[in-house]
Structure 1
């Protein structure tokens, strides 16, 4: 799943990567809560919500990848 992260992959790979990010952010949020890192917890929560929105299709991915290549529809 994550081994192909960062290269131009298909939609299924993108969905898997977003799901992986969402899961990892959930785990990091828990660690931040346990440690009492309130600001870090808040920032992770914002990223967690964003990843959930992407995963559910409520928000589109950006129109370009970080390396400047356009995404395929």
Structure 2
């Protein structure tokens, strides 16, 4: 699913940009590290409520467009 892949890419890129571990993200979200891994590996497809929790924990605006996400990812390279 394209949206799920885009979600995973945004989260992984933002983790790298911030130098944040999945463990820290899990702590901020109040979930287990294995749960984060299951979302980021594609085993679970997040609902909008979960996407919102990821974005809040990462300090990302909830109105992030694919174009803005690509610009953010390009700035890492």
Q: Sort the TM-score into its range (normalised by shorter chain).
A: 0.3 to 0.5
Point out the structure with the larger helix share.
2
TM-score normalized by the length of structure 1: 0.35
Higher relative contact order (CA 8 A, sep 6+): 2
